[in-house]
A and B are shown apart, each in its own frame.
Chain A
Amino acid sequence: MTEQINQAINREYEAGFVSDIESETFEPGLDEDVIRRISTMKNEPEWMLEWRLKAFALWQKMEEPEWAHVHYPEINFQDISYYSAPKSMADKPKSLDEVDPELLATYDKLGIPLLEQQMLAGVAVDAVFDSVSVVTTFREKLAESGVIFCPISEAIQEYPELVKKYLGSVVPQRDNYYAALNCAVFTDGSFVYIPKGVRCPMELSTYFRINEMNTGQFERTLIIADEGSHVSYLEGCTAPQRDENQLHAAVVELVALDNAEIKYSTVQNWYPGDENGKGGIYNFVTKRAVCHTSAKVSWTQVETGSAVTWKYPSCILRGDNSIGEFYSVALTRGMQQADTGTKMIHMGKNTKSTIISKGISAGRSNNSYRGLVRMGPRADGARNFTQCDSLLIGGQCGAHTFPYVESKNPSAIVEHEATTSKVSDDQMFLCQQRGLDPEKAVSMIVNGFCKEVFKELPMEFAVEAGKLLEISLEGSVG
């Protein structure tokens, strides 16, 4: 049975193609000069360059974290190119008509048509290709409600006050090794501002694509939901199939002001490497939200890609009555390693957090949940509930749970539970006896296992995520 299950899990990576696009790419290497060149390419104001250089100075003194349950060869940061953009993007196309058709074809092939008439009507997309944003759709329509949705490189020029105020306010430059690196070399990403009291009329989404060899992608996303506003945001990511490892070190900062609500969903499908662990993306990401009074931030992630994942989308529940949620499905197979989870920092009174984590390990992969729930001394009446479930498929994988629970408030309540189980022979037999093939059976069982998380995803993407798992599990059943 296990044999069958494992076969079902080894599948093709459908997004593994390379687009033939002529790019302008920096020589590998990292020093102050490279940072100055990035800043110049982006036509940045002086303050931005200074901010980058300060981060770079900090980064040089920091050490790479070693506490995660992942192993990979040392990264030589001088072997990475820190900027790559399609040549056609050099003179900033004014409209989609001016965008290189090959670029548009790339996104079409990935199932993300960028022509507005072909798109899902309710979704605006920012498409980031290596180090630049190719296009951001529906901007005018959004502007009607006062919503700003644009590449962050543009926001630095157009909305410097907002950027200055909030950039680094949630994830400071010195926060951690990869965040500091990102601060120094980030190239593009999305910027969102939802004005007071506005309910964003469409889903916003960013699609990240790494194409060029030997480049790292360092995107930066900043979302500000002003008082009483509401936004749902989704990101997706893919990369070509290559034998080399590529680094993706992103930073996402969310600011939910009083009574605002941000729903942030991720479907992460970076190239995971082959079944022997060759190639794949190192996904070292810092995502954090700060919630002011009565604000709510909900992180939902479906992680199926990357060779190594190091990612802890977190909430600082600063304001009274604020709410943080983390819903996660992480599937690892082959030689993938994931160390992911969340931090819920309860500072305000009556703050609430919910953590639902579903880890599925197959093949020879290792899948770890790592989390922190901290009840601060002022968090009267705060509550946390955490449920971490692991599903092991086959006897060669690992599933681990490392929850840190810290409380300094006697009226706060923390509950953590973790269980582990396998796809049982009985379950498989039942499904097969009812006429399902093993692959379908496993994917059904796994989908059921993940249901609590999928129901948190926006509708279109829930279907997408379900399919992704199905594809991921294809051929992994024994």
Chain B
Amino acid sequence: MSDWLGRAVSRAEQVSDWLSPQRQASLALLREAQWPTRKTEAWKYTPVHVLADAEFAAAANSELAAAEAIEGLNSIELVFTDGVLQSELSQLPEGLTIVPLADASSETRQWAAEAFSAAKPSKHLFGLVNDVLATAGVIIDVAEGVSIEPVIRIVHRIGKDCEAHNRVLVRIAKNASVTVVEDFSGEEKSFNTGYAEYTLAESASLEHYRFALQTGAALSVGGSHFNLADKAQLNSTLVGFGSELSRLDVDVNHTGEHAFAKLNAIYLLDGNELFDLHSTIEHMVPNGTTEENVRGIVADHSRAVFNGRIHIHRDAQKTLAELNNRNLLMSRDAEINTKPELEIYADDVRCAHGATIAEIDKGALYYLRSRGVSKAQAQIMLSFGFINELVDQMPNQVLAEWLRPQLRQRFANMEVK
């Protein structure tokens, strides 16, 4: 057990709230947990030693400038600073309830305690850490049949030398629909775990974005987890920049039939950044569909890790599941490790995965140059185009417009060799 983990455990022992039964169970597991090493399959390519003896202030309240609004976005903003909710929650649309974790009514507590860690399988150390330490967070409840117009944007900002643990629980009732943005940014030395769990009831629909844009010394481990009931629809876009440690787990559980999940993910890495994306798709019942597209550009001395698992359970006949991971490796000092996995126990299914690592397509490069565009600019255009294909697919183009300049900025700084 590392120093950091030892301190985390002793802090967790002090935590007492309405989630204590759930937290105690995880704490017991955490005490038994092994600190990840290269031999730990889930952390094979992602060392966590930067965290091992790091010390952070647990409950600081940093003075951070107000989060910038996104131009043209109709949104409900939930701003967390160092894990603490700063926003006033008033005048919410009808059918939408948002309460801080600590203020949950007894009725909310009942379902929320059940949903806590139900979608997130708590399978690794930091998931357990979040279970026991995430006292800050928010519960979002969308009532049956309601379509929430404004986008719910959850902004997480962590100040220098701070540590924060945050949990978001979202319940979307039958035939309801909502858009949720999880927005992480910052580059100062800090550590946070941020997990969100979404429970979609029958025919519910979720448009989801996770912008994991922390860079530099901002250490971050987190995940977004989804339980899909019958005919639920998920459309999720994930964008990641790397930092000294940046790890994300995305899990989709098809617990109901005829559910549809579309997952797009982009990572764009530069400098010494590390980004690790693990996704697990569980098809537990028949007739589910998953389309997953993951694209990455890895430059300079950065490293990308992708592990994409699709698990078709014995009963999940007639599943359609496809995963595609494409990477551009831009530098001799950069590294990509990818592992698409299929684990299939049902015969009448259509499953496929593909992974490629390559440089920029020579034919396309020549085409652009033959029109007078310089080689360097053509390389930038093509690599931007490579990920922009997925940005174009974002259902919310206001968010896409907000995102593109940030992505372009990365390319502008990127040294194309």
Contacts and interface: CB of A to CB of B under 8 A. Distances in A.
Interface of A: 2, 67, 69, 375, 377, 390, 392-422
B339 A403 contact: yes
B367 interface: no
B336 interface: yes
A409 B417 CA distance: 12
A403 B336 CA distance: 14
Interface in B1-57: 41
A421 B337 contact: no
Contact of B352 (A402, A404, A411, A420): A420
A395 B359 contact: no
Interface in B369-384: none
Contacts of A407: 327, 329, 335-337, 357
B342 A420 contact: yes
A409 B329 contact: yes
B351 A404 contact: no
B348 interface: yes
A409 to B, nearest CB: 7
Contacts of B340: 401, 403, 416, 418
Given A401-B341, A402-B341, A411-B359, A395 B329 contact: no
A408 B353 CA distance: 22
A458 to B, nearest CB: 32
Interface of B: 41, 314, 317, 327, 329-332, 334-359, 417
Contacts of B346: 392, 395
Contacts of A418: 340, 342, 352-354
21 contacts: A67-B41, A395-B348, A397-B345, A397-B347, A398-B344, A400-B342, A402-B339, A405-B337, A406-B338, A410-B417, A412-B329, A412-B357, A414-B356, A414-B357, A414-B358, A418-B342, A418-B353, A419-B351, A419-B352, A420-B352, A422-B348
Given A398-B345, A403-B339, A414 B355 contact: yes
Contacts of A394: 347
Nearest 10 Cβ contacts at the A-B interface: A392-B347, A401-B342, A407-B357, A414-B357, A410-B329, A416-B355, A422-B347, A413-B358, A419-B352, A417-B354
A69 B342 CA distance: 12
A425 B342 CA distance: 24
B343 A398 contact: yes
Contacts of B353: 401, 416-418
- Among the interface residues A375, A402, A420, which one has the most CB atoms of the partner chain B within 10 A? A420
A400 B341 contact: yes
Contacts of B357: 375, 405, 407, 412-414
B350 A421 contact: yes
A263 B327 CA distance: 33
Given A403-B355, A413-B358, A416-B355, A395 B339 contact: no
- Among the interface residues B334, B357, B359, which one has the most CB atoms of the partner chain A within 10 A? B357
Contacts of A414: 355-358
A419 B317 CA distance: 16
A39 B297 CA distance: 56
Given A67-B41, A402-B339, A402-B341, A417 B352 contact: yes
A421 B350 CA distance: 6
A416 B336 contact: no
Nearest to B346: A395
Contacts of B354: 415-418
A394 B417 CA distance: 51
Contacts of A392: 344, 346-347
Contacts of A409: 329, 332
B133 to A, nearest CB: 31
Contacts of A400: 341-344
Nearest to A387: B354
Contact of B338 (A397, A405, A420, A422): A405
Contacts of B355: 403, 405, 414-416
Contacts of A421: 350
A335 to B, nearest CB: 14
Given A416-B355, A416-B356, A377 B342 contact: no
A61 to B, nearest CB: 16
A239 B158 CA distance: 64
B316 to A, nearest CB: 10
Nearest to B341: A402
A413 B361 CA distance: 11
B302 to A, nearest CB: 12
Given A408-B335, A413-B359, A420-B342, 15 more contacts: A395-B348, A398-B345, A402-B339, A406-B335, A408-B332, A408-B334, A410-B332, A410-B417, A413-B358, A414-B358, A416-B354, A419-B352, A420-B350, A421-B350, A422-B348
Nearest to A386: B355
Contacts of A402: 339, 341
A197 B349 CA distance: 51
B417 to A, nearest CB: 7
Contacts of A375: 357
A362 to B, nearest CB: 9
Contact of B351 (A411, A413, A420): A420
A418 B317 CA distance: 19
Contacts of A415: 354-356, 358
B176 to A, nearest CB: 35
B359 A410 contact: yes
A153 to B, nearest CB: 37
Nearest to A2: B347
A67 B330 CA distance: 32
Nearest to B315: A395
A401 B340 CA distance: 8
A408 B45 CA distance: 13
Nearest to A423: B347
